[in-house]
Amino acid sequence: MKIAEWVSRLGEVWVEGQLAQISRRPGTATAFLVLRDPSADMSIPVTCRRELVETAQLTEGSRVVLRARPDFYPARGSLSLRASEIRQLGVGELLVRLERLKRMLSAEGLFEPARKQRLPFLPTVVGLVTGRASAAERDVVDNARRRWPAVRFRVENVAVQGALAVPQVVEALRRLDADREVDVIVIARGGGSVEDLLPFSDETLCRAVAACLTPVVSAIGHEPDSPLLDLVADLRCSTPTDAGKRIVPDVAEQRVAIDQLRRRAVGAVSSLVATEAHRLAAMRSRPALASPHTLVSSRRSEVEALRDRATRHLRHALSAAADDVAHRRARVAALSPAATLGRGYAIVQRGDGVVVRRSTQVATDDRLRIRLAEGELAATVAGSHPEGQEDR
């Protein structure tokens, strides 16, 4: 089945959108409209009776819901709508839909304080998304430069109401977020009606702001009903003027703060120097430092007494050690074999060198070697007597 046949089977449908363009050609009873999806870069042509537009008092930017029959043109491959009924959405209905979207985004955590980023103290470049040559742009730039003259801006001029607002703001936001020099982004617009501010409550824009890596500031006028952008942005300012004052520090206040810190630092250093000088003077006034020779003289007698005591102890220890060495030497000399021989004893050895201790170790005619204290003797055994017997 061809596309045209499928489209013809649809019958009448209800379509909601925003009027991007209204054309009334003179001499015809037909009005030509362009219906746009506010959350996407999509539109569709619509034709209707001219009286429908005039009866509903439609204007460009109005949010409407219409009943229409789709038409498909195979030659161009395009789709259009023929409207038979058009209803303009009321403010009450819009607020109900916004409240429903607000609850959904809140349930997803897009408004949580924990996900909000802190603004830099002194941004290098401020990205500004606002209308071309608008009062909001002047308010932000003038107030920021009045506080910090060196601040730089990167301005993206976009539509701030109507069907083109959402896609243009989202695209500008994407470009500024990708710019590494931009430290904070301000979305600014002056006050307006609920219908005028609808783009700043759009779901696509809210999600784009939540996805930004750069902190985003919302400055959308001061209406009682704040747009959803205020809730999802990292900082909400009541007006563009307020935003200009809050994105940069006040140079005058910073100078005062620096002067105060300088005075505090000077005072702290001066106090420290005075304290240390007092301590140094107190130390220098002590007797030990005022007259070092006095301390040495007072300790000289103690040193001499200690030296005498050490000398006496050393001499006593050396004398005791000498006596002990002499005593041990005498004992060793008394116990030596030479001393025994000196008292008249002798060492008798057989020819094989064995020391003779008993008479049974030798036999008659054995040759012996006798060692005396001085010299040796050679002898021959003439006979032997067992222990306890004598030669008679």
pLDDT attached to residue 224: 62
- Say whether both 61 and 106 belong to one domain: no
- pLDDT tens for residues 251-281? 988 889 999 999 999 999 999 999 999 988 8
- 82: Cα within 13 Å, side-chain hemisphere: 11
β pairing state of 42-49 and 78-88: parallel
Q: Is the pLDDT of residue 83 over 80?
A: yes
- Say whether both 329 and 234 belong to one domain: no
In a domain, 76, yes or no: yes
Rounded to whole angstroms, the Cα distance separating 161 from 165 reads 5
pLDDT attached to residue 392: 45
In a domain, 391, yes or no: no
Minimal CA–CA distance to 30: which of 16, 10, 45, 17?
45
- Say whether both 62 and 151 belong to one domain: no
User: Domain residues for 353?
Assistant: 341-380
What distance separates the 2 farthest-apart alpha carbons in the chain?
188
In a domain, 53, yes or no: yes
Rounded to whole angstroms, the Cα distance separating 148 from 335 reads 109
Question: CB under 8 Å to 125, separation ≥6 — which residues?
Answer: 152, 153, 154, 179, 181, 182, 183
- Count the domains in the chain: 4
In a domain, 261, yes or no: no
In a domain, 144, yes or no: yes
In a domain, 260, yes or no: no
- Say whether both 69 and 106 belong to one domain: no
Q: What is the pTM of this model?
A: 0.54
The CA-based dihedral angle spanning residues 143, 147, 153, 157, taken in that order and rounded to the nearest 10 degrees: -10
Which DSSP symbol is given to 390?
Answer: -
Q: Which two tokens stand for residue 184?
A: 């904070």
- Say whether both 190 and 79 belong to one domain: no
- Say whether both 31 and 160 belong to one domain: no
- Say whether both 99 and 213 belong to one domain: yes
- Say whether both 237 and 99 belong to one domain: yes
Q: Which of 56, 89, 122 finishes a domain?
A: 89
Q: What is the CATH number of the domain that holds 104?
A: 3.40.50.261
Q: Is the pLDDT of residue 391 over 60?
A: no
Q: Is the pLDDT of residue 291 over 90?
A: no
- Say whether both 238 and 154 belong to one domain: yes
- Say whether both 159 and 236 belong to one domain: yes
In a domain, 258, yes or no: no
- 208: Cα within 13 Å, side-chain hemisphere: 24
- pLDDT tens for residues 26-50? 888 899 999 988 766 788 999 999 8
Average pLDDT over the chain reads: 87
Q: What is the CATH number of the domain that holds 65?
A: 2.40.50.140
pLDDT attached to residue 366: 86
Q: Which of 89, 112, 133 finishes a domain?
A: 89
- Say whether both 325 and 355 belong to one domain: no
In a domain, 255, yes or no: no
